Amino acid sequence: MERYKEEFIEFMVDSDVLKFGDFVTKSGRKTPFFVNTGFYRTGTQLKRLGGYYAKAIHDQFGLDFDILFGPAYKGIPLSVAASIAISEQYGRDIRYCSNRKEIKDHGDKGILLGSPLSAGDKVLLIEDVTTAGTSIEETMPIIRAQGDVQVCGLVVSVDRMERGKGEKSALTEISETYGFRTAAIVTMAEVVEHLYNRPYKGKVYIDDALKAAIDAYYAQYGV
């Protein structure tokens, strides 16, 4: 595993974004792990987060695109942070764009904020974690309504590696439905590989008992 992925896993733990215990996802699944990017709350955290996204985007998609689109609401700071990091790390000036939940009827009118979308633009979607693909379902009609733009991919922070609405993973379902590639900074398999029975700052986050719970979860919901 690349060192930046190991650092990102530790960064999620330090930021209280990656947690282990008993949780319930929005879809009602009881899960022994949870990823909540709402806990990135400082400028330093957002700068580091943008850097990890920039590295993953560069490695897995290259930089041949024009706009980073972050669906509201969590995608808004992600698109901003990652576009800044791409500029700093790779010298490529990428525009950012996000949608509003409600259409604004005064001032900067419309449903979009940041850069407008124009015909011929290549757009890369950026999200936190995708479990069922709901936000992408809501986002794609908004993007398509702006004109002849090309969505070239989706990058998320963590691939939970579990079924979406059918028998395939949510990222695979999105890829097959919309015809673009999907990628993640890390997968849950990599998280387990890095933390299982390995102390981090004096604590073992995934011991035998938690590993068994994760295995049981994937036996039920994995792909």
Q: Is the distance from CB of 54 to CB of 82 less than 8 angstroms?
A: yes
Catalytic residue flag (residue 74): no
What is the torsion angle, in degrees rounded to the nearest 10, for the CA atoms of residue 156, residue 177, residue 169 and residue 37? 20
Catalytic residue flag (residue 194): no
Q: Is the distance from CB of 35 to CB of 128 less than 8 angstroms?
A: yes
Q: Is the distance from CB of 123 to CB of 154 less than 8 angstroms?
A: no
What is the Cα–Cα distance from 116 to 67, expressed in whole angstroms?
9
Pick the catalytic residue from 106, 109, 201, 203.
106
Query: With 0-12 CB in 10 A as exposed, 13-18 as middle and 19+ as buried, what is 209?
Result: exposed
Identify any residues that bridge with 67 across adjacent strands, giving them in sequence order: 95, 123
Q: Is the distance from CB of 54 to CB of 80 less than 8 angstroms?
A: no
Residue 98 in 3-state DSSP? Answer: strand
What is the torsion angle, in degrees rounded to the nearest 10, for the CA atoms of residue 44, residue 48, residue 49 and residue 53? 150
Beta strands in 47-89 (DSSP E): 67-70
Pick the catalytic residue from 19, 47, 74, 104.
104
Catalytic residues: 104, 106
